[in-house]
């Protein structure tokens, strides 16, 4: 339920801000606005104030502002002469259309600094060098010869200063061979890594993890570990005399069967053995002893001045990355499998709601920035396409023909439908897998 609620709220904010831009400039231009709707389709509820009806409609994937004279061939009554959309100059109409995406861009510019003021909580390892703590067997990393203890220093000639750099690069390059430089002891080793494709996100996957010692952060009441006397802070050194150097190794040994196992535990300066019998999980497919680890996280907060600077820098950086990704998708550098639609947005919104305020704000800011930029692209149906037609109209001194506009709109609709089918297919494919 929280996923659905989060999705509706996030989408509602983005749509409201966008349509508010159109609405505000239309009102300032003395254009009669008949309807302001969040959502499409049948009206769920609404009220009328002045000459405008404000509505909440059934389908939440969009919204609209209905202005007099906006529809082709619409008849304008005498009382509305001079107050219709078509009565205004091309420049005025372009300003009304551009106001929507501009409001989305402004929202992002406001939210990014606010996020830095509230504070960003991130996994602490992301800012550390990409030193490998575990390699999954038969994974792309294993096939590339990457070993525990290797530090990934460069990918395709680009410096990888942190785990974040490496994860970002490999995530955006599923199925693409990447040239890696590894530091192993005092040697530098070159290899080729071809990230796999995640069935849940479509992003590139490698099969490596940072160091995660098997240190217990929580013991669940009523489970075997608690009954055996294990406590938060204990480190599991071995299971049945098999040495444990990473949490994932512990999971593998514990979850495979219900046989009693001998655990070697380090508590402070003491080391002792204890026998524990795992119990079946709720799904009946694995076994648990009832311990968990808490990922080390770092909270970063900044002053107002620095937050504004970092917020603007983040906006610029994300804009650059968006165009890099779009270019990569066009030329085939990045996989179309990485694209997501409403279902993915809903899933991400649900996870963000669980994580806290800064994660929700980050998601809204990121989506608002993308929505603002993409909507300005000169593609028919999008705001940028309408602006392009108005620029041509201003140059020619007369509107484009209805036939041309109709064909252009059909092409634009076909492109949007194709994109929606693709991202929906990706979303459904991820869920089914």
pLDDT of residue 201: 62
> Is pTM beyond 0.75 here?
no
CA distances in angstroms from 20 to 99, 100, 363, listed in the order given: 8, 7, 20
3-state secondary structure (DSSP) of residue 415: helix
Task: Tell which residue, 179, 285, 274, 278, has the closest CA to residue 231.
Answer: 274
Tell me how far the alpha carbon of residue 369 is from its chain's centroid: 12
Cβ proximity of 64 and 35 under 8 Å: yes
pLDDT on residue 123 = 83
Q: Which residues are catalytic?
A: 19
**Res 119: pLDDT:** 83
Query: What domains appear along the chain, each with residue ranges and CATH number?
Result: 2-29+88-117+364-432 (no CATH), 126-209 (2.30.42.10), 218-293 (2.30.42.10)
pLDDT at 197: 80
User: Which parts of the chain sit beneath pLDDT 50?
Assistant: none
pLDDT for res 6: 77
Instruction: Give the total residue count for the chain.
Output: 433
Q: What is the pLDDT of residue 422?
A: 73
pLDDT of the residue at 239: 93
The pLDDT of residue 120: 78
DSSP 164-232: HHHHHHHHT-TT--EEEEEEETTEEEEEEE--EE-TTT--EE--EE-----B-SEE-TTSHHHHTT--T
pLDDT of amino acid 127: 86
Residues in CB range of 394: below 8 A, 6 or more apart: 89, 90, 91
Q: What is the rounded CA–CA span in Å between residue 265 and residue 263?
A: 6
């Amino acid at each position: 339920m929280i996923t659905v609620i989060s999705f509706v709220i996030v989408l509602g904010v983005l749509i409201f801000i966008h349509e508010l831009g159109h609405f505000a400039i239309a009102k300032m231009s003395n254009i009669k606005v008949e309807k302001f709707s969040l959502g499409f389709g049948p009206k769920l509820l609404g009220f009328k104030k002045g000459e405008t009806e404000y509505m909440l409609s059934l389908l939440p994937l969009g919204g609209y502002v209905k202005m007099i004279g906006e529809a082709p061939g619409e008849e304008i009554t005498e009382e509305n002469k001079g107050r219709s959309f078509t009565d205004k100059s091309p420049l005025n109409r372009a300003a009304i259309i551009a106001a929507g995406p501009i409001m989305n861009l402004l929202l992002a510019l406001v939210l990014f600094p606010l996020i830095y003021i509230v504070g960003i909580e991130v996994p602490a390892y992301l800012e550390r060098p990409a030193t490998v703590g575990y390699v999954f067997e038969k994974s792309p990393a294993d096939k590339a010869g990457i070993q525990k203890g290797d530090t990934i220093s460069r990918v395709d000639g680009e410096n990888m200063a942190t785990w974040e750099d490496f994860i970002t690069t490999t995530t955006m390059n599923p199925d693409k061979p990447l040239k890696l430089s590894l530091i192993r002891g005092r040697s530098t080793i070159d290899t080729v890594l071809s990230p796999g494709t995640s069935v849940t996100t479509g992003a590139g996957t490698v099969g490596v993890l940072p160091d995660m010692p098997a240190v217990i952060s929580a013991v669940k009441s009523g489970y075997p570990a608690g009954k055996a006397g294990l406590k938060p802070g204990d480190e599991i050194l071995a299971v049945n005399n098999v040495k444990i150097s990473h949490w994932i190794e512990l999971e593998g040994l514990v979850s495979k069967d219900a046989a009693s196992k001998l655990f070697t535990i380090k508590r402070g300066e003491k080391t002792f053995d204890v026998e524990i019998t795992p119990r079946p999980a709720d799904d009946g497919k694995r076994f648990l002893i009832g311990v968990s680890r808490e990922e080390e996280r770092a909270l970063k907060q900044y002053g107002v001045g620095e937050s504004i600077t970092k917020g603007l820098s983040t906006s610029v950086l994300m804009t650059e990355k968006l165009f890099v990704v779009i270019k990569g998708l066009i030329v085939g550098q990045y996989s179309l499998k990485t694209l997501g639609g409403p279902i993915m947005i809903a899933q991400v919104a649900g996870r963000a709601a669980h994580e806290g305020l800064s994660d929700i704000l980050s998601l809204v800011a990121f989506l608002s920035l993308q929505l603002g930029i993409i909507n300005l692209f000169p593609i028919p149906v999008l705001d940028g396409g309408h602006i392009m037609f108005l620029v041509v109209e201003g140059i020619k001194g007369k509107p484009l023909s209805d036939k041309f506009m109709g064909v252009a709109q059909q092409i634009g609709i076909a492109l949007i439908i194709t994109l929606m089918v693709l991202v929906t297919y990706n979303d459904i494919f991820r869920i089914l897998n």
